[in-house]
Structure 1
Amino acid sequence: MSKPDEASRAARVRELNDAFRKAPRSLGKLCLTRSTAALPLGAQLAILHRVMTFDAFTEENDPYQEHKFGAFEYKDEKILWRIDYYDLACEYGSDDPSDPTQTTRVMTIMLARED
């Protein structure tokens, strides 16, 4: 794959990931780990809002420029989120995350101490 193809693929994946992160229930699957789901509803909603509006991407946390991972502090907890790419049946990894017709995005939100 040539450099322009890699750049355009990364740009398309980034666009799809940003759209999914901003509206996770409509464009893929959202998972909260057990500890995250055990937080009070208000905390869960605040964390989800922070994920949906996250824009602190850096070379360190986004080396492929796909916007598929983020981390932030919420109260006394470090929160991590990540987007994984699966086939439509969620059995295997997606062959092409830039193609939404063959990819299901799954975002997991977790407390860093669970990692």
Structure 2
Amino acid sequence: MTDHEPANPETGDTTDDADRTARIRNLNDRFRTLGSGRGRILITPGIQALGIAAGVEILKRVRTFDDFSEDNDPYGEHDFGSFDHAGETIFWKIDHYGLTLDTGSEDPADETVTTRVLTILLASEY
């Protein structure tokens, strides 16, 4: 099953799918806001070039980001955000990998088989 398929493709039942999405969202939020759970944070060269003070402020804004909408979070997983900082558009994205980071996670709702990778970058680096 991929991140966005119904829990039961034969019936189209989305009850389990909604629970699964809520679990992914909660795990993403916990990792992004608290740094809790298995994962890594990647800061790109563009963010690093802004300096330590800017990097600290940007990380704080990523951790406190709550401006989710249908436009920037269509699947309800809280895995992407963007904001402006000192005239630069900043993106952040959470991707879900397997434990060895060489494949995508079999199930992002299961933290025992998932490593979250939070990447923080300038929009111009995308």
After TM superposition, the score normalised by the length of structure 2 is 0.88
Matched residue, 2:32: 21
Partner of 1:105, secondary structure, is: strand
- Work out whether 1:77 is the aligned partner of 2:88: yes
Contact 1:12–1:98 under 8 Å retained in 2:
yes
Alignment partners' CA distance in 2, 1:99 and 1:48: 25
Q: Runs (4+) of structure 1 moved beyond 6 Å? A: none
Alignment partners' CA distance in 2, 1:61 and 1:8: 20
Gaps of 5+ in 2: 1-6, 8-12
Bigger helix share:
1
Alignment partners' CA distance in 2, 1:80 and 1:26: 21
After TM superposition, the score normalised by the length of structure 1 is 0.96
Partner of 1:9, secondary structure, is: helix
- Which one has a bigger Cα radius of gyration? 2
Gaps of 5+ in 1: none
**Per-residue deviation at 1:42?**
0.4
Within 5 Å, which residues of 2 pair with 1:1-115? Answer: 1=7, 2-24=13-35, 27-115=38-126
